[in-house]
């Protein structure tokens, strides 16, 4: 053999494994092309008047790969949307509460399949509403089994909403979420009501996470909001997250804009109603909503989850606890799932939706199998994509919730066009 072919073979032997490794690594999701798509999407939504302000932050493999803000946090005051903007995250409060609850699980304070009544006796001997008699009186039957803590972490407890029904009227009369209530009073009023279905039979979004907040308070022996501060916000340096926006930070507090369903016209919601929850010190700190945050603060929370419970050397949860939270807990027998199927091919873990399969149609939200995510009533969104080591947070203050397919468009811009194999 001549010298040159031998050298070529030696060189190939050294370079081949590296080539194979590179082939096995997933390509970078956020590149020049995807950045351009996201920029265009954001500008289109602002220029077309679909929302007033937008910000988006994406980290991939531990590095910030995208940030942009467009439009206004407060158009009337001429304040642009930016990194310091504080928004109402509504139901993106829920995953934070789930983490707080599961920190107590790690301390052995409860098991997921324990009856809720073991720790909150007011939820003993629950009844289920099955209709009304000829005189309009409620017909009730005993629940087939107790509500478990797992039920309140996955929205299968059976708690009723305040809809237009006889049971809904009972819920409204109970005034469960009066802001002057303590969490204990909230729980007492909720427990006095019949359930809408037998525990474990259906998935129905409702007050479950508010009951989680009550449990956090009972099991920790500390005020719920104090526990959040000590166990999550302070360790993660989430310095601009909380139920109350102090006077000094209100210049950064975004306005809320209502979009008329018929005309698409945006009008500012009066601050007197939009900001009332977060500019007074109310007694009730709900688990299901109420927190405000900045995009960087919430990204710290998302990054902690991506890194299996720790961030910057600070551990909030054990890796196995995060895995438990981000695993689907809904069996196939739970076929009635309210609007959860609108979120795509998903199940539900502990306070997150969990993607089980790629989107089947272009109309579905794009995403990667194994991701977990949730959103908020004013059209905010976050997700964690472990496969690509990617976390994304999208902020706006748009009411009603995402009638303009913002989340769908943002996900398509991040991942590219719909792909039935899930990329």
pLDDT at 402 over 80: yes
**pLDDT, tens digit, for every residue of 230-267?**
999 999 999 999 999 999 999 999 999 999 999 999 99
Domain match, 287 and 392 both: yes
Domain match, 193 and 226 both: no
**Residue 327: pLDDT band by 50, 70, 90 thresholds?**
very high
**pLDDT, tens digit, for every residue of 96-124?**
999 999 999 999 999 999 999 999 999 99
Domain match, 298 and 379 both: yes
**Residue 363: pLDDT band by 50, 70, 90 thresholds?**
confident
**pLDDT, tens digit, for every residue of 15-71?**
444 444 455 666 899 999 999 999 999 999 999 999 999 999 999 999 999 999 999
Domain match, 282 and 397 both: yes
Query: Stretch 339-351: mean pLDDT, rounded?
Result: 96
pLDDT at 14 over 50: no
Domain match, 97 and 115 both: no
pLDDT at 95 over 70: yes
- Give the pLDDT of residue 164: 80
pLDDT at 12 over 70: no
Task: Give Cα separations from 283 to 69, 184, 239, 290 (angstroms).
Answer: 34, 11, 21, 12
- For the chain, give the secondary structure using H, E and C: CCHHHHHHHHHHHHHHHHHHHHHHCCCCCCCHHHHHHHHHHHHHHHHCCCCCEEEEEEEECCEEEEEEEEEEEECCCCEECCCCCEEECHHHHHHHHHHHHHHHHHCCCCCCCCEHHHCCHHHCCCEEEEEECCCCCEEEEECCCCCEHHHHHHCCCCCCCCCCCHHHHHHHHHCCCCCCCCHHHHHHHHHCCCECCCCCCECCCCCHHHHHHHHHHHHHCCCHHHHHHHHHHHHHCCCCCECCCCHHHHHHECCCEEECCCCCCEEECCHHHHCHHHCCCCCCCCCCCCCEECHHHHHHHHHHHHCCCEECCEECCCHHHHHHHCCCCCCCCCCECCCHHHHCCEEECCCCEEECCCCCCCCCCCCCCCCEEEECCCCCEEEEECCCCEEEEEECCEECCCCCCHHHHHHHHHHCCCCCCCC
Question: In this structure, are strands 257-259 and 398-399 parallel, antiparallel, or unpaired?
Answer: parallel
Domain match, 61 and 168 both: no
Domain match, 94 and 154 both: no
Domain match, 151 and 237 both: no
Domain match, 257 and 405 both: yes
- Give the pLDDT of residue 23: 54
Q: In this structure, is residue 9 part of a structural domain?
A: no
Q: In this structure, is residue 361 part of a structural domain?
A: yes
Domain match, 334 and 405 both: yes
pLDDT at 135 over 80: yes
**Residue 144: pLDDT band by 50, 70, 90 thresholds?**
very high
Query: Stretch 81-92: mean pLDDT, rounded?
Result: 98
- Give the pLDDT of residue 66: 98
**Which residues, 6 or more positions from 215, have their beta carbon under 8 angstroms from its beta carbon?**
101, 104, 110, 116, 119, 120, 149, 152
Question: In this structure, are strands 398-399 and 63-74 parallel, antiparallel, or unpaired?
Answer: unpaired
Distance between CA atoms of residues 207 and 214, nearest Å: 11
Q: In this structure, is residue 423 part of a structural domain?
A: no
Q: In this structure, is residue 271 part of a structural domain?
A: yes
Task: Give Cα separations from 307 to 61, 64, 347, 374 (angstroms).
Answer: 10, 15, 22, 18
Q: If you count them, how many residues does the chain have?
A: 423
- Give the pLDDT of residue 403: 96
Domain boundary among 194, 214, 234: 214
Q: In this structure, is residue 11 part of a structural domain?
A: no
Q: In this structure, is residue 5 part of a structural domain?
A: no
How many structural domains is the chain composed of? 2
**pLDDT, tens digit, for every residue of 288-320?**
999 999 999 999 999 999 999 999 999 999 999
Expressed as residue numbers, the domain containing 206 is 111-214
Q: In this structure, is residue 27 part of a structural domain?
A: no
Q: In this structure, is residue 1 part of a structural domain?
A: no
Query: Stretch 123-140: mean pLDDT, rounded?
Result: 95
Domain match, 236 and 314 both: yes
What's the alpha-carbon Rg for the chain, to the nearest Å? 24
Domain boundary among 173, 195, 214: 214
**Residue 285: pLDDT band by 50, 70, 90 thresholds?**
very high
Percent share of the chain, pLDDT over 70: 92
- Give the pLDDT of residue 362: 85
Domain boundary among 214, 233, 262: 214
pLDDT at 216 over 60: yes
pLDDT at 355 over 50: yes
**Residue 4: pLDDT band by 50, 70, 90 thresholds?**
very low
Domain match, 365 and 276 both: yes
- Looking at residue 282, which CATH number applies to its domain? 3.40.710.10
The beta-carbon contacts of 164-167 under 8 Å, at least 24 apart in sequence, are: 166/129, 166/132, 166/136, 166/138, 167/129, 167/138, 167/193, 167/194, 167/196
Task: Give Cα separations from 320 to 105, 155, 235 (angstroms).
Answer: 12, 22, 20
**Residue 411: pLDDT band by 50, 70, 90 thresholds?**
very high
């Amino acid at each position: 053999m001549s010298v040159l072919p031998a050298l070529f073979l030696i060189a190939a032997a050294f370079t081949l494994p590296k080539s194979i490794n590179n082939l096995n690594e997933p390509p970078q999701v956020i590149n020049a092309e995807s950045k351009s798509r996201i920029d265009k999407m954001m500008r289109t939504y602002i220029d077309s008047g679909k929302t007033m302000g937008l910000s988006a932050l994406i980290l991939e493999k531990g590095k910030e790969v995208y940030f942009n803000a467009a439009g206004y946090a407060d158009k009337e005051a001429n304040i642009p949307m930016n990194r310091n903007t504080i928004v109402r995250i509504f139901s993106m409060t829920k995953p934070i509460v789930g983490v707080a609850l599961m920190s107590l699980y790690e301390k052995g304070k409860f098991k997921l399949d324990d009856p809720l009544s073991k720790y909150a006796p007011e939820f003993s001997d629950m009844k289920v509403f099955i209709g009304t008699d000829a005189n309009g009186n409620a017909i009730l039957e005993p629940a087939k089994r107790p509500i478990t803590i797992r039920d309140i972490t996955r929205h299968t407890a059976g708690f009723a909403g305040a809809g237009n029904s006889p049971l809904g009227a009972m819920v409204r009369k109970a005034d469960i979420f009066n802001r002057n209530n303590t969490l204990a009073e909230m729980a007492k009023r909720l427990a006095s009501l019949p359930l809408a279905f037998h525990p474990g039979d259906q998935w129905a979004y409702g007050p479950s996470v508010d009951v989680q907040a009550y449990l956090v308070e009972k099991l920790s022996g500390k005020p719920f909001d104090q526990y959040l501060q000590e166990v999550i916000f302070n360790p993660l340096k989430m310095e601009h997250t909380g139920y109350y926006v102090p006077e000094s930070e209100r210049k950064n507090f975004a306005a809320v804009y209502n979009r008329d369903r018929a005309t698409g016209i945006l009008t500012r919601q009066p601050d007197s109603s939009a900001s009332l929850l977060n500019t007074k010190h109310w007694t009730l700190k709900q688990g299901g909503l109420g927190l405000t945050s900045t995009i960087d603060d919430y990204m710290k929370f998302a990054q902690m989850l991506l890194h299996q419970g720790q961030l910057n050397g600070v551990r909030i949860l054990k890796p196995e606890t995060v895995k438990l939270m981000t695993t689907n807990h809904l069996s196939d027998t739970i076929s009635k799932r309210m609007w959860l199927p609108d979120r795509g091919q998903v199940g539900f873990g502990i306070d997150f939706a969990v993607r089980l399969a790629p989107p089947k149609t272009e109309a579905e939200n794009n995403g990667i199998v194994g991701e977990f995510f949730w959103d908020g009533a004013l059209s905010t969104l976050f997700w964690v994509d472990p496969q690509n080591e990617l976390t994304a947070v999208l902020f706006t203050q748009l009411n009603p919730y995402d009638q303009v397919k913002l989340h769908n468009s943002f996900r398509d811009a991040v991942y590219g066009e719909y792909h039935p194999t899930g990329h």
